[in-house]
Amino acid sequence: MATPKAINFVRTRRSSLIAAIFLMATSAIGPGFITQTATFTATMGASFAFGILASIVIDFFVQQNIWRIVTLTRMRAADIANAAIPGSGYLLAILVIFGGLVFNIGNIAGSGLGLNALIGLEPKLGGLLSAIMAIFIFSSQRAGIAIDRIIIVLGVAMITLTLFVAYVSNPPLGEALRQTVLPDNINFATITTIVGGTVGGYICYAGAHRLLDKGVAGIENIQAVSRAATNGILVVGLMRYILFLAILGVVSSGVIIDISSKDANPASQAFQAAAGQFGLRIFGLILWAAAITSVIGAAYTSISFITVFSQKFTERKRNITTIIFIAISLLIYIVLGTPPAALLVFAGGFNGLILPIGLTIFIYVGWCRADLMQGYHYPRWLLWLGAITCALTWYMGFMSIEPIFSFLKTA
């Protein structure tokens, strides 16, 4: 019979794994992904289904390798990079923190758009109130518990509401399924942007760092961590495809979605076309939930990289630094004046350019640095597929630099 201590350990580990899954999932399904999906579905139609599939496959191999190696080494990503290639951890930290800042400006913008659609609040005021809420969460003495619970509740709400809109919009399922594997056209810039918006930059490290902070690490937890990563990717993949179908149904019905005007909000238009004013309110709640969880996830994960510059960061100091990070993101958003939709699309593309740098280091550790992983015999099939994914992200990133930065020219 299991002892109370053993039962409590299992429950605590399960809770930590669920929290990590939803932190990764909600980070991957933020306002950037929602806006990108609406924008690219409007321009590519059912062909964009292939981009969704590509992002899920890339996500799987990226997350499996990163979650495993962080767990096995019991170190955060930047520390792993420094241990493997001296100095590379500092570069990775700078890129991820900067990429997280770019994304968080977009996340705050997304929260403003969400509240605008939900209750008609002016977007910048909505962004201000949402950022203050995130700061309040990190100011709490029980910040860790609050983060876990809020992210899980809002994550479930996002999936449920999007599923409803996908049903109402009545998308052409057969055509979508065909073009998922046999697309009429492939656009590398689109795939790089959507990959960046779902697994690039800070996102791929969010769940892994949360597990580390919860003490779920080491060889003894590797199978549970691997299953958690797989389950998280399934949750993310399901949400991505449902959102795509919801918007595809609107586009296929002949509704023209405006993606060119300065203040366009493509996803909002799609949800409103599918379900009227009720659809618009649903969109507002989904976008706000996605944005506020992403503000929390981006700030938490980005600041988890700052410890590579100093090991003296206590949890309290990290929370204070995280609050400052959110405040800076808010200030830039208010002053910048960049259209939220354009900023969200660019943020995904920029973080897609960061992804292959960190992934290259992790694949190197998996191949050559068993000493950092307690001598663990790393699965070669996973490394091979991870290496192929890494090469693919480098190629897509190289081919997409100019198109991604052109998103800022339309702002």
Number of neighbouring beta carbons within 10 Å of residue 184: 12
Q: How far apart are CA 231 and CA 4, in angstroms?
A: 27
DSSP code for 178: H
Amino acid identity, residue 56? I
CB distance 323 to 138 below 8 Å:
yes
At 387 the pLDDT is 92
Tens digit of pLDDT at every position of the chain (411 positions): 555 555 555 566 666 667 666 666 666 667 777 777 888 888 888 888 898 888 888 888 888 899 899 989 999 999 999 999 999 999 999 988 888 888 888 888 888 888 888 888 888 899 899 999 888 877 776 655 666 677 677 777 777 877 888 888 888 888 989 988 888 887 777 777 777 766 777 777 877 887 887 777 788 888 888 888 888 788 778 888 888 888 888 888 776 776 666 566 777 777 788 778 888 888 888 888 888 888 888 888 888 888 888 777 777 788 888 889 999 999 988 887 655 666 666 776 777 778 888 899 999 999 988 888 888 888 889 999 989 988 988 887 777 677 666 666 555
What's the confidence (pLDDT) of residue 14? 66
Q: In the Cβ-directed half-sphere of 322, how many Cα atoms lie within 13 Å?
A: 30
pLDDT at 79: 92
* Long-range contacts of 254-258, Cβ-Cβ distance < 8 Å, separation of 24 or more: 257/38, 257/42
pLDDT value of position 187: 77
Question: Rounded to an integer, what distance in angstroms lies between the CA atom of residue 265 and that of residue 51?
Answer: 21
Q: Which of 77, 86, 95, 142 is nearest to 304 (CA)?
A: 77
Residue 324 tokens read as 């400052």
pLDDT at 178: 92
- Whole-model pTM? 0.79
**Burial annotation 129-140 (CB, 10 A radius, 16+ → b, else e):** ebbeebbebbee
Domains of the chain: 18-410 (1.20.1740.10)
| 3-to-9, 13, 16, 37, 71 alpha-carbon distances in Å | 10, 15, 20, 48, 26
Whole-number Å distance between alpha carbons of 333 and 336: 5
Whether residue 88 contacts residue 82, with contact meaning beta carbons closer than 8 Å, is answered with yes
Identify the pLDDT of residue 337: 63
At residue 8, the pLDDT reads: 57
Tokens found for residue 233: 């990717």
Residue 106 contacts residue 340 (beta carbons within 8 Å)? yes
Identify the pLDDT of residue 327: 92
Q: In whole angstroms, how large is the CA radius of gyration of the chain?
A: 20
Write the single-letter amino acid at 341: A
